[in-house]
Amino acid sequence: MKHFIDINDLTYEEILDLLDLADKLKKQNKTGIKHKVLSGKTLGMIFAKSSTRTRISFEVGMYQLGGHALFLSNQDIQLGRGETVADTARVMSRYLDGIMIRTFDHQDVLDLADHGSIPIINGLTDLMHPCQALTDLMTIREHKGTLKGLKMAYLGDGNNMANSLLQAASLCGMDIAIATPADYGCETTCIEQARSNAVAQGSKVIITTDAREAVSGADVIYTDTWVSMGQEDEKAKRIKIFTDYQVNSELMSLADSKAIFMHCLPAYRGLEVTEQVLEGPQSVIFDEAENRLHAQKAVMVRLLSPDSQI
C-alpha cells in the first residue's frame, strides 16, 4: 500500500489486514501496551475543511505511535495563496514522512500523490471519505462479528460518504442498498465499481429512491448530514427534498431486529435522524467515532512503517 486515497484501491485482503491491525492496536491501547513504531516520523496535515474527529484522531494517533503531527491550514501554507499542489507536494516531501489532506477537490489528493514522493492519506474530499469507511467496517465487524453476508442500508445524500461505503461494503461481501432522492445519487463510477466488486464477492448493490425498500431486513442503517460543508446556501431546499429519508423509529422497525445505527457525525438531530434513534440502544455512533483513532493508526503504521511487527 503506497497511499490511502480510495477504498477501491485496496484488495479485500488488504482491508482485512488493516482491520485486524486496527483491532489489535485498539485492544493493546486499552490494556496499556504502547507502540512507538513511528518514532521520529512526522505527518503533515493539510486542512482546507474544518474538522473535529479527523484532526484529533490523527494527532492523537501519531502521538500514541511515537510520531509528530503538524497541523497546516490554508492560511498557514502557500497553497492558500496560489502555490500549486505539485510544488507543495515536492517541497513537503523533502520535510515530511507523510501527508494527510482534508479538502474539497479530490484532484488535489491525486496531484499530491502524483508529484510527491511520500505516502498520501485522504482525510476527506467532496468525492470520497475512505478513512471513515474503513472505520465503519471496523465498527460493523466489532458489533456483528463479520462483514460478509450482512446488509447495509444508506439513506440520504449520495455524497462522499455514500460513495466510499459503496466501495467498502461491496469489496467485503456485504449487500448495500443506497436510497437517495432521484437527483442526489452517488457517483456513477462508484456505483459501477461497487457492482463489479459485488459480482466478484457474490453480494448485491441496490440503488433506489425508496427508503423503506433500502432498510428492509438490513443489519446496518447508516445516514449522514443532508447539508455538507459548502452547501449551506441549499439548506432549506435540501431539508424539504430529504424529509422522507429521515432515520426514525418507524424506518428502524423495518430493519433486522438486531440492526445497528451508524452516523459519521456531526449529526443534526431532528433532521437526518431523530433523537430517539441517535440516543437509542441500536446506535453505535460513539464506538464508530472512537474507532477513527484506531483505524487510522493502522493506516499510518502500514504506510509510514510497513516493516513494523506489532
Where in the sequence numbering do the catalytic residues fall?
A: 102, 129, 132, 224, 264, 292
Residue 233 near residue 53 (C-beta atoms within 8 A): no
Q: Give the strand order in the sheet containing 220-223.
A: 205-208, 175-179, 151-155, 220-223, 260-263
Extract the runs of DSSP E, i.e. beta strands, from the chain: 42-47, 68-73, 98-102, 120-124, 151-155, 175-179, 205-208, 220-223, 260-263
Residue 43 near residue 99 (C-beta atoms within 8 A): yes
* Chain Cα centroid distance, residue 101: 13
Residue 310 near residue 301 (C-beta atoms within 8 A): yes
Residue 109 near residue 125 (C-beta atoms within 8 A): yes
- The 3-state DSSP class for residue 68 equals strand
The residue behind cell 507502540 is: 35
Residue 43 near residue 68 (C-beta atoms within 8 A): yes
Integer Cα distance of 218 and 19 in angstroms: 22
